[in-house]
């Protein structure tokens, strides 16, 4: 080591330096200073740079995630009301029950020392803990499965996730059940292991009523369909958020770190729907589906024609809003059953979701259909407005029109002969309407098609509204469109939505104003202050007041006229106007070849100043045989025979509900029986003879002590009244006979043969039995006058187009 | 050894000679003193901020919810420590040179005394503390004893007469070769170091052992020992470390946890993760003094080993860097004083103390930033611990004492 010698030499030469560190030592201290004073700090700085600058955001986000707890206070979802303030949808608070398996393990308290104070072995402690956890889990599973109705195995499976502190075992539990859970928690000191969080549940008090209009919320309380979906923002309000900084022990860090946002409750929606009218309409739809073997659902819209406020909107199949996944419709269920038996699981799942979609969507605006003859008033209105036809014009009809190689038939195969405009409408005469269409020309026709609002959705406040399907304008107005124009003139070969059609027809009868249909009258906040209010909105005036008046009067004649195609809608005491329709759809059942027909009727009342307009349609009444024109119960398939009487009755019921007095001109074919009790036999006999009735007597006495039928009943002329002289009417009952399909005379005789009386309504003597007040085989007291409705057989425009 | 003091010194610069225990009148190094005071004050402020949540929540059951519990104690010890520093700075450090061996023996005895029931205290499986007169770690004294012994012996290196062996026998030639490469010279140091580490192994006290090795190496390096020895020693230690890490499960898992703390975020990786979250949250400018959120029980030992994470979170990269700069300045000034000490002994003592200090700072911050695996080294002047603070200030006092006799300043 030469260094040592050198340094030694130096020390000897310069002893004054000997006590201090040599030059090499100094260099080395500088090296140390470089390492420990500069290098290490440089490394540390780089590491800090990496953490505090490069990774700053990710690390900060992770830190904040563990430091904060967001407590949301849920806003109360707004209520949906009908026009009278009845509640269609309302939110209530419910509880979710949550398990924290982690805390069960943590709560296991085992002595770490034995009775002598000596520490026990880990294994013993662990085993004891395990036993405690096991018994606690069993206790929880047994009791909660009993209280909540959840499978015991499922609870145990969730309890197995010992790392988790959040296992939901029951959602949206009602208060009474939640109370039972609370008692169980208290009694067993399981506060740390089981807890409940607030949630909201949507209740629909009317369950199936207006289901497609109201819609429903999904499990996250977000609107999924209908008004619930479209008004999600208004209804949901804003959840309150409280962000609390917490320490690692889970308690609050101090208010300085907290932020609060109050919850804003949702607004209330006030619809124009009248639950009572809605239920009347739903009943009508349901009865019709039963009566006419309808297989593809039905729709019905009730509106105020002046404002186009929707009073009722029915689409069948419907569903229970409180249980929206379950299929209730018999037809859909039958189809599903069939697929369940024959198809694979995937097919069934697909069919199920299709069926659910079908019941959730509204036929009134989510699908379109061929309007058929119900479209004719619009063509007539356009013709009158343009002056191409006059009320006094006459139209000839030989039963068909040949056009461009097509033969278009009229419902009257032998032709209507010569008829004026009113008659043509009453007859629903296709050749006459084709004539009007040709006089209008395709350009004008298309212009009115546009003006009546058919080229775009109406904008009603429901999601998923579709538009019409019509020929492209260029094709329609070209010479090649002549057949299209002809078929369009009587409402075939194009499709519209029911809501579009009823809105346009409202314009035809309300003085020519095309209104924007609406469902939501107002939106209010929780204090009842009006946030927004819907004023009736006119889109445009389409036709003049005069044209509208004339069309309305034509349509009244359709119902009130002796041979009107809508005469089955006639209800005595009300002025009802309307138009029937039977639409061919070119769809056939793939198995049997039955043609799909949609029978419909649009009606309004009172005819001089309409307050309600109703569009009722049944999609595909099932014919008895593929070739048959009638259903299995013998009802001829047409709008005039099916939708028409049902709608007439519905309109009468709605007018009743709205408080309209029946006009006194009752033209019942029957006779009202006076009160005869207390009269002598002779007096009663004379009174009955004056009314054209005969009598039989029962018992031996001077005075009438009882009578059958009861006073006030209406019976046909010539009926025989039973007078009880000194005896009481025996409380004898007979089974009600089935009168369906019978003529007036047949029905009267059948009833009298069992001791009952006929009280005929509807078209009476000329018609066939349409409905009977008492179901067949129901016991009826002898001598009762049974109400039976008769309708005339009406063929409108079926099978209009042939090659 | 004591002879050196009795002989009159030949130094022309400082002819007057003082006996050990005598006070010295020269000026202390002002920059070093100011940096020390500044760091202790900043350390106290940060300790107050970092410690009050755990004091409030009373995690260890000793604070009775007194938010200032840790701060008050540390402040009292700081005052005591400053007084100690002043007294030590007044003493003539050269007296220590002759006392090197006795101090070393006393340190060995005290470090073994921790195993005597009634004297020692065991915390978390490690027996490192004496409870007389207050709780303290005799290994702190051990470090000082090692520094003084090494410095003392190395400072007389040039007086050492090389051993000569009979070059005619192969053993003699071998011994001469060993002497030539400086092996025999190193033997006493090696023996002392091995005894020290053996005693620490009994406690056990891994981090103190590492510090012993580092300061021993630093003093030997500055003392002029051939670089080859450090290369050889470094390679030996490194390969030993690799073997230990690879063969013992405990060390393997610890290294894995260091490389990927997120693999056991709630368990073994928790400390490192919480520390990194705190540092990362701080960003460039920090959340403001007192505004750390991680200190609310997330960060383990926020007032102790991980206090620097709170500094980073509250003061940001800028504040943390400033603190590091203060440390660096103190350390560089320390080495500067070593360069200018009046004698070899003083230089080597400063090298030992400053290197120990610098290594503690580096190791602590490296652990807090997850640059190193977790070891229990506290941050000087910042971490809570009264006796440690007092000992550190006494060490600073020793450096100041050396600086008084600095011939240039």
Does residue A10 have a pLDDT over 50? no
What phi and psi values does residue B191 have, to the nearest 5 degrees? -65, -50
d(CA A302, CA A315): 12
Q: Does A20 touch chain B (CB under 8 A)?
A: yes
* Token pair 């989510």 in the structure block, residue: A366
Q: pLDDT band at A733, cuts 50/70/90?
A: confident
Q: Does A161 touch chain B (CB under 8 A)?
A: no
Rounded to an integer, what is the distance from CA A155 to the centroid of its chain? 37
CB contact under 8 A, A29 and B222: yes
How many CB atoms are closer than 10 A to CB A24? 14
Is B3 within a domain? no
Question: Tokens representing A219?
Answer: 């499990």
Question: Tokens representing A761?
Answer: 């309504």
CB contact under 8 A, A44 and B365: yes
d(CA A52, CA B318): 10
Q: How far is B253 from chain A (nearest CA, A)?
A: 22
pLDDT digit string, tens, across residues A425-442: 888 888 899 999 999 999
For residues A376-387, average pLDDT: 93
Mean of the per-residue pLDDT values for chain A? 84
Helix H or strand E encompassing A582: strand A577-588
CB contact under 8 A, A67 and B294: yes
In terms of phi and psi (left: phi > 0; alpha: psi -120 to 50; beta: otherwise), the region of A581 is: beta
Q: Chain B residues with CB inside 8 Å of A32's CB?
A: 218, 221-222, 335, 351, 355
Question: Tokens representing A236?
Answer: 């949901």
Q: Which of B348, B384, B350 is nearest to B364 (CA)?
A: B384
For residue B378, give the DSSP letter. Answer: P
For residues A676-699, average pLDDT: 81
pLDDT of residue A803: 41
d(CA B245, CA B249): 8
The C-alpha R_g of chain B, in whole angstroms, comes to 23
d(CA A500, CA A512): 15
Contact assessment for residue A614 and residue A654, using Cβ atoms and an 8 Å cutoff = yes
What phi and psi values does residue A602 have, to the nearest 5 degrees? -110, 130
pLDDT of residue A248: 64
Q: Give the predicted TM-score (pTM) of the model.
A: 0.60
CB contact under 8 A, B57 and A41: no
Question: Tokens representing A175?
Answer: 């208060």
What phi and psi values does residue B329 have, to the nearest 5 degrees? -60, -45
Q: Which of A519, A500, A506 is nearest to A364 (CA)?
A: A500
Question: Residues 6 or more apart from A348 whose CB is under 8 A from it?
Answer: A336, A339, A340
d(CA A740, CA B282): 88
d(CA A516, CA A282): 24
Is A592 exposed, middle or buried (CB count within 10 Å of its CB: 0-12, 13-18, 19+)? exposed
Is B272 within a domain? yes
pLDDT digit string, tens, across residues A131-175: 888 888 888 888 888 888 888 888 888 888 877 777 888 888 888
Does residue A12 have a pLDDT over 60? no
Does residue B107 have a pLDDT over 90? yes
pLDDT of residue B4: 44
Residue B350 belongs to what domain range?
22-404
Q: Chain B residues with CB inside 8 Å of A102's CB?
A: none
pLDDT of residue B123: 81
| Total domains in the fold of chain B | 1
Q: pLDDT band at A282, cuts 50/70/90?
A: very high
Is B228 within a domain? yes
Q: Look at residue A414 and give its three-state secondary structure.
A: coil
In which order are the strands placed within the sheet that holds A400-403? Answer: A400-403, A406-409, A801-802
Question: Tokens representing A540?
Answer: 């445009």
Q: Chain A residues with CB inside 8 Å of B352's CB?
A: none
Task: Give the residue on B whose Cα is nearest the Cα of A245.
Answer: B293
pLDDT of residue B317: 95
pLDDT digit string, tens, across residues A218-267: 888 888 899 999 999 899 888 777 666 766 665 656 545 556 677 788 89
Q: CA torsion sign, B319 to B320 to B322 to B326? A: positive
Q: How far is A186 from chain B (nearest CA, A)?
A: 28
Q: Does A39 touch chain B (CB under 8 A)?
A: no
d(CA A510, CA A577): 13
Q: Chain A residues with CB inside 8 Å of B276's CB?
A: 51, 55, 59
What phi and psi values does residue A637 have, to the nearest 5 degrees? -80, 105
Q: How far is B161 from chain A (nearest CA, A)?
A: 10
Task: Among B223, B280, B365, select the one facing A52 at the smallest CB separation.
Answer: B280
Contact assessment for residue A227 and residue A266, using Cβ atoms and an 8 Å cutoff = no
* Token pair 């006494």 in the structure block, residue: B394
Is B350 within a domain? yes
What phi and psi values does residue A52 have, to the nearest 5 degrees? -95, -20
CB contact under 8 A, B344 and A19: yes
Chain A (239-298) residues lying within 8 Å, Cβ to Cβ, of chain B: 245-249, 253, 257
Contact assessment for residue A605 and residue A576, using Cβ atoms and an 8 Å cutoff = yes
Q: Does A350 touch chain B (CB under 8 A)?
A: no
Q: pLDDT band at A501, cuts 50/70/90?
A: very high
How many CB atoms are closer than 10 A to CB B136? 21
d(CA A67, CA B125): 32
Contact assessment for residue B81 and residue B390, using Cβ atoms and an 8 Å cutoff = yes
Chain A (229-248) residues lying within 8 Å, Cβ to Cβ, of chain B: 245-248
Please list, residue by residue across A365-377, b when 16 or more beta carbons sit within 10 angstroms of its beta carbon and e when fewer do.
bbbbbbbbbbbbb
* Token pair 């703390």 in the structure block, residue: B261
DSSP E strands, B221-300? none
For residues A645-661, average pLDDT: 89
pLDDT of residue A333: 87
Rounded to whole angstroms, the maximal C-alpha distance in chain A is 172
Task: Give the residue on A whose Cα is nearest the Cα of B343.
Answer: A20
pLDDT digit string, tens, across residues A22-74: 778 888 999 999 999 999 999 999 999 999 999 999 998 888 887 776 666 67
Q: Does A341 touch chain B (CB under 8 A)?
A: no
pLDDT digit string, tens, across residues A173-228: 888 888 888 888 888 878 778 888 777 888 999 888 899 999 999 888 888 899 99
CB contact under 8 A, A44 and B371: yes
Q: How far is A160 from chain B (nearest CA, A)?
A: 20
CB contact under 8 A, A60 and B281: yes
DSSP E strands, A472-512? none
Task: Give the residue on A whose Cα is nearest the Cα of B359.
Answer: A36
For residues B226-241, average pLDDT: 90
Contact assessment for residue A730 and residue A706, using Cβ atoms and an 8 Å cutoff = no
Q: Does A45 touch chain B (CB under 8 A)?
A: yes
Q: Does A27 touch chain B (CB under 8 A)?
A: no
Mutation target for B interface from A14, A18, A32: give the one with most B CBs within 10 A: A32
d(CA B31, CA B347): 18
* Token pair 């206090």 in the structure block, residue: B307
Is B16 within a domain? no
Q: Where are the domains of chain A?
A: 2-54, 71-270, 372-657, 670-791
For residues A746-757, average pLDDT: 82
CB contact under 8 A, B222 and A49: no
Does residue A568 have a pLDDT over 90? no
Q: Which of A60, A61, A71, A68 is nearest to A254 (CA)?
A: A68
pLDDT of residue A331: 83
pLDDT digit string, tens, across residues A450-493: 999 999 999 898 888 998 999 998 888 888 888 889 889 988 88
Q: pLDDT band at B306, cuts 50/70/90?
A: very high
Q: Chain B residues with CB inside 8 Å of A58's CB?
A: 280
CB contact under 8 A, B347 and A56: no
Q: Look at residue A544 and give its three-state secondary structure.
A: coil
DSSP A752-763: HHTT-EEEEEET
Is B93 exposed, middle or buried (CB count within 10 Å of its CB: 0-12, 13-18, 19+)? buried
Task: Among B223, B312, B359, select the one facing A25 at the smallest CB separation.
Answer: B223
Q: Which residue has the higher pLDDT, B207 or B193?
A: B193
Task: Give the residue on A whose Cα is nearest the Cα of B285.
Answer: A52
Is B2 within a domain? no
CATH hierarchy code of domain A670-791: 3.30.10.20
What phi and psi values does residue B56 have, to the nearest 5 degrees? -65, -45
Q: pLDDT band at B409, cuts 50/70/90?
A: very low
Task: Among A48, A59, A249, select the one facing B320 at the smallest CB separation.
Answer: A48
Is B372 within a domain? yes
d(CA B275, CA B307): 9
Question: Tokens representing A50?
Answer: 């990496």
CB contact under 8 A, B297 and A248: yes
Question: β-strand A757-762 against A785-791: which pairing, if any?
Answer: parallel
Contact assessment for residue A697 and residue A767, using Cβ atoms and an 8 Å cutoff = no
Helix H or strand E encompassing A480: none
Q: Chain A residues with CB inside 8 Å of B278's CB?
A: 63
Q: pLDDT band at A628, cuts 50/70/90?
A: confident
Rounded to an integer, what is the distance from CA A20 to the centroid of its chain? 101
Q: Does A29 touch chain B (CB under 8 A)?
A: yes
d(CA A637, CA A295): 13
* The domain made up of A71-270 is a member of CATH 2.40.128.20: no
pLDDT of residue B405: 87
Q: Chain A residues with CB inside 8 Å of B180's CB?
A: 1
Q: pLDDT band at A513, cuts 50/70/90?
A: very high
Question: Tokens representing A400?
Answer: 């068909």
d(CA A296, CA A298): 7
pLDDT digit string, tens, across residues B151-175: 999 988 888 888 888 888 899 889 9
CB contact under 8 A, B358 and A37: yes
For residue A256, give the DSSP letter. Answer: G
Angle of CA points B190, B194, B199, to nearest 5° = 150
Question: Tokens representing A22?
Answer: 């040599």
- Domain A372-657 adopts which CATH fold? Beta-lactamase (3.40.710)
Is B368 within a domain? yes
* Token pair 């919810």 in the structure block, residue: B65
For residues A88-94, average pLDDT: 87
Does residue B390 have a pLDDT over 90? yes
Is A341 exposed, middle or buried (CB count within 10 Å of its CB: 0-12, 13-18, 19+)? exposed
d(CA A669, CA A764): 7
CB contact under 8 A, B343 and A38: no
């Amino acid at each position: 080591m030469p260094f040592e010698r050198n340094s030694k030499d130096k020390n000897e030469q310069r002893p004054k330096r000997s006590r201090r560190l040599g030059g090499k030592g100094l260099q080395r201290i500088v090296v140390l200073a470089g390492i420990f004073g500069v290098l290490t700090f440089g490394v540390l700085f780089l590491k800090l740079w990496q953490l505090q600058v490069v990774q700053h955001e990710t690390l900060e986000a992770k830190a904040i995630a563990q430091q904060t707890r967001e407590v949301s206070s849920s806003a109360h979802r707004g209520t949906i009301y009908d026009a009278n303030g009845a509640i269609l949808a309302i939110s209530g608070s419910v509880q979710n029950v949550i398990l924290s398996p982690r805390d069960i393990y943590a709560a296991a308290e085992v002595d770490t020392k034995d009775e002598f104070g000596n520490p026990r072995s880990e294994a013993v402690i662990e085993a004891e803990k395990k036993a405690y956890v096991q018994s606690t889990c069993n206790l929880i599973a047994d009791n909660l499965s009993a209280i909540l109705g959840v499978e015991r195995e499922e609870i145990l499976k969730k309890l197995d996730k010992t790392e988790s502190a959040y296992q939901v075992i029951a959602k949206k539990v009602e208060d009474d059940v939640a109370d039972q859970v609370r008692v169980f928690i208290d009694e067993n000191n399981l506060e740390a292991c089981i807890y409940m969080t607030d949630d909201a549940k949507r209740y629909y008090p009317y369950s199936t009523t207006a289901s497609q209009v109201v819609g429903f919320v999904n499990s996250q309380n977000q609107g999924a369909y209908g008004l619930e979906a479209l008004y999600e923002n208004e209804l949901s309000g804003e959840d309150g958020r409280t962000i609390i900084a917490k320490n690692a022990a889970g308690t609050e860090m101090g208010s300085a770190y907290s932020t609060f946002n109050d919850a804003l409750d949702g607004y209330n929606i006030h619809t124009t729907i009248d639950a009572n009218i809605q239920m009347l309409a739903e009943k009508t739809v349901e009865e019709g589906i039963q009566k006419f073997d309808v297989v593809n659902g039905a729709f019905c819209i009730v509106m105020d024609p002046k404002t186009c406020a929707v009073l009722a909107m029915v689409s069948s199949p419907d569903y229970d809003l409180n249980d929206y996944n379950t299929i209730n419709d018999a037809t859909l269920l039958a189809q599903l059953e069939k697929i369940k038996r024959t198809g694979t699981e995937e097919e069934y799942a697909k069919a199920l979701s299709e069926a659910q979609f079908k019941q959730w969507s509204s036929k009134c605006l989510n699908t379109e259909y061929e309007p058929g003859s119900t479209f004719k008033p619009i063509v007539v209105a356009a013709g009158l407005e343009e002056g191409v036809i006059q009320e006094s014009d006459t139209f000839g009809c030989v039963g068909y029109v040949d056009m461009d190689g097509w033969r278009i038939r009229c419902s009257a195969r032998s032709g209507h002969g010569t008829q004026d405009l009113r008659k043509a409408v009453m007859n629903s005469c296709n050749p006459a309407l084709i004539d009007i269409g040709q006089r209008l020309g395709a350009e004008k026709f298309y212009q009115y098609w546009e003006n009546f609002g058919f080229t775009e959705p109406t904008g009603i406040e429901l999601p998923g509204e579709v538009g019409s399907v019509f020929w492209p304008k260029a094709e329609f107005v070209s010479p090649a469109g002549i057949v299209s124009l002809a078929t369009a003139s009587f409402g075939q070969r194009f499709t519209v939505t029911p809501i579009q059609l009823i809105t346009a027809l409202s314009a035809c009868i309300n003085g020519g104003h095309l209104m924007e249909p609406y469902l939501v009258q107002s939106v209010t906040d929780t204090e009842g202050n009006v946030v927004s209010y819907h004023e009736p909105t006119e889109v445009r005036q389409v036709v003049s007041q005069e044209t509208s008046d004339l069309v309305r009067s034509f349509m009244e004649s359709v119902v009130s006229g002796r041979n009107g195609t809508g005469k089955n809608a006639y209800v005595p005491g009300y002025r009802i106007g309307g138009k029937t329709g039977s639409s061919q759809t070119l769809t056939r059942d793939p198995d049997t070849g039955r043609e799909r027909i949609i029978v419909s009727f649009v009606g309004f009342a009172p005819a001089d100043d309409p307050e309600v307009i109703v569009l009722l349609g049944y999609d595909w009444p099932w014919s008895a045989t593929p070739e048959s024109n009638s259903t299995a119960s013998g009802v001829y398939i047409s709008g005039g025979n099916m939708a028409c009487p049902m709608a007439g009755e519905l309109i009468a019921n709605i007018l009743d509900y709205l408080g309209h007095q029946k006009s006194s001109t009752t033209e019942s074919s029957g006779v009202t029986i006076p009160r005869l009790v207390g009269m002598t036999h002779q007096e009663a006999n004379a009174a009955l003879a004056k009314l054209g009735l005969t009598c039989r007597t029962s018992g031996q006495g001077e005075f009438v002590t009882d009578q059958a039928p009861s006073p006030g009943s209406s019976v046909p002329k010539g009926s025989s009244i039973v007078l009880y002289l000194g005896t009481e009417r025996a409380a004898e009952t007979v089974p009600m006979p089935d009168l369906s399909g019978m003529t007036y005379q047949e029905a009267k005789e059948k009833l009298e043969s069992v001791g009952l009386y006929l009280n005929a309504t509807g078209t009476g003597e000329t018609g066939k039995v349409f409905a009977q007040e008492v179901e067949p085989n129901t016991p009826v007291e002898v001598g009762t006058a049974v109400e039976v409705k008769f309708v005339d057989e009406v063929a409108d425009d079926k099978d209009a187009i042939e090659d | 050894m004591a002879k050196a003091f009795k002989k009159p010194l030949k130094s022309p610069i400082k002819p007057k000679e003082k006996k050990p225990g005598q006070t010295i009148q020269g000026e202390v190094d002002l920059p070093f003193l100011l940096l020390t005071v500044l760091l202790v004050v900043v350390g106290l402020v940060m300790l107050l901020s970092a410690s009050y949540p755990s004091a409030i929540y009373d995690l260890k059951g000793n604070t009775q919810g007194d938010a200032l519990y840790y701060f008050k104690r540390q402040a009292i010890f700081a005052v005591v420590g400053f007084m100690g520093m002043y007294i030590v700075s007044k003493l003539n450090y050269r007296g220590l040179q002759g006392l090197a061996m006795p101090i070393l023996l006393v340190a060995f005895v005290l470090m073994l005394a921790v195993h005597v029931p009634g004297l020692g205290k065991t915390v978390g499986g490690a027996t490192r503390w004496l409870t007389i007169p207050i709780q303290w770690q005799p290994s702190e004294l051990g470090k000082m004893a090692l520094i003084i012994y090494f410095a003392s012996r190395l400072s007389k290196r040039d007086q050492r007469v090389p051993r000569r062996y009979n070059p005619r026998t192969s053993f003699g030639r071998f011994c001469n070769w060993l002497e030539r490469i400086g092996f025999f010279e190193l033997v006493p140091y090696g023996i002392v170091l091995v005894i020290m580490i053996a005693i620490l192994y009994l406690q056990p006290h891994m981090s103190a052992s590492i510090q012993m090795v580092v300061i021993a190496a630093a003093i030997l390096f500055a003392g002029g020992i051939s670089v080859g020895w450090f290369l050889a020693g470094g390679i030996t230690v490194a390969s030993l470390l690799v073997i230990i890490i690879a063969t013992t499960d405990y060390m393997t898992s610890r290294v894995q946890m260091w490389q990927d703390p997120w693999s056991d975020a709630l368990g073994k990786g928790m400390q490192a993760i919480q520390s990194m979250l705190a540092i990362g949250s701080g960003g460039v400018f920090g959340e403001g003094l007192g505004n750390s959120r991680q200190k609310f029980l997330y960060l383990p030992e926020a007032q102790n080993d991980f206090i620097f994470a709170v500094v980073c979170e509250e003061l940001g990269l800028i504040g943390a860097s400033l603190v590091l700069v203060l440390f660096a300045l103190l350390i560089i000034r320390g080495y500067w004083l070593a360069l200018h000490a009046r004698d070899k002994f003083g230089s080597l003592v400063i090298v030992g103390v400053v290197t120990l200090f610098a290594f503690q700072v580096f190791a602590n911050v490296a652990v807090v930033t997850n640059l190193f695996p977790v070891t229990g080294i506290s941050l000087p002047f910042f971490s809570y611990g009264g006796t440690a603070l007092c000992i550190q200030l006494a060490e600073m006092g020793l450096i100041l004492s050396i600086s008084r006799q600095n011939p240039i300043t």
